[in-house]
Structure 1
Amino acid sequence: MPKIVDHDQRRVELVGATWRIIAERGLDGATMRDIAAEAGFANGALKPYFPTKDQLLDFAFEHIVAQTNARMAAATEGRTGLDALRAYCHEILPLDDERLSEARVAIAFWQKALRDPSKAAVHARSMEQWREALGGLLGAAGFRGAEAHDGARPAPAAGLDAAVGAIMNLVLGAQITATLSPAQHGPDALVAQLDCLLDGLLSGADA
């Protein structure tokens, strides 16, 4: 009787191998042969799943976004306000080896997306989902926007967009700094930076 192959599981195994090879050798040094060997497959066995390394990278990026989303849902369940907002952001920050490996895949994907509109569109869709979620979490945490110079509040949407942008820049930028300078940007430092930003944004927020 022919062996039943779980194709979805094989794709996930290849993504895991991709993380390890990229982390060790970088994107340019990650050959399809090396990825296949790391996953325990013959080189030709990759072709039905990912004919090119570009397609494998696309799947790896979309997989880590889905994996991050699942962690976010679990981390924020039962939490409210600032606690939920912090927990959500922690799942993007590279605070452990798994999330640091995800960051390396994301950086490799960004490098390709600079010259590939289809990859840039995939990234934009994923990030818009995070932006919308952060906007809701900020509002639930009591964000009211900064005071304007004349004492009047700016339009809430404009203030919220800027706040969400600041958080996105921090958590995504942390993926680069933690990869390049881990000694200066370890987990404790990244959490402290996030707390500093959130405390500033939510200063004077409703209790």
Structure 2
Amino acid sequence: MSQTATILVIDDEPQIRKFLRISLSSQGYKVLEAATAGEGLSQAALNKPDLVVLDLGLPDMDGQQALAELREWSQVPVLVLSVRAGEADKVLALDGGANDYVTKPFGIQEFLARLRALLRQAPAGEAAPALVQVGQLRIDLALRRVSLGDAEVALTRKEYAVLAQLARHPGRVITQQQLLKDVWGPSHVDDSHYLRIVVAHLRQKLADEPAAPRYIVTEAGVGYRLMG
């Protein structure tokens, strides 16, 4: 990837953001900044950066939680930059979807080298959309918000998880087994009745008729797809 890449820095320390802005800009990168997790997630959704530098000690949300929310809809490379030097914090972040971990204080040359390595590894191809719209149905994967027309739809955690998984691949069939594995876990791949109940509740809340679906289509014996 070229050095015209866009880097989003999410860190509540102004001096760190300034230091990274100067260092990254001098290398030809475009730099976006956010001081809170909420602002950072919004920036990531709107501007689709090529890499995110994420602090864990954010004022509005722990960085580990911010990482988990980001990973629900984006596979952008994430370089964690944190004062937390403990092995447990590093393992939690890496298992949670971070691509690399640098502790503060840090050397800028090593930081830049790690950043370049992540950009080289970044997968090619179009990122999953953060906002999906099908007719009157809007699914905001960044904000975890679902609305029908002007009204927000209240969903349970499982209902949202199933709908979000379908929304990440609009128009494509997701098998029952894949949905069960992703939402309930690998030990539940045969519990198709769980999925049928959740889809029935979703259809009820979305006023979606199974016989003439506008949003969720059943592919008999295979799975479900969100209208593309």
TM-score by length of 2: 0.26
Instruction: Select the structure that is richer in helix.
Output: 1
| Structure with higher RCO (Cα < 8 A, 6+ apart) | 1
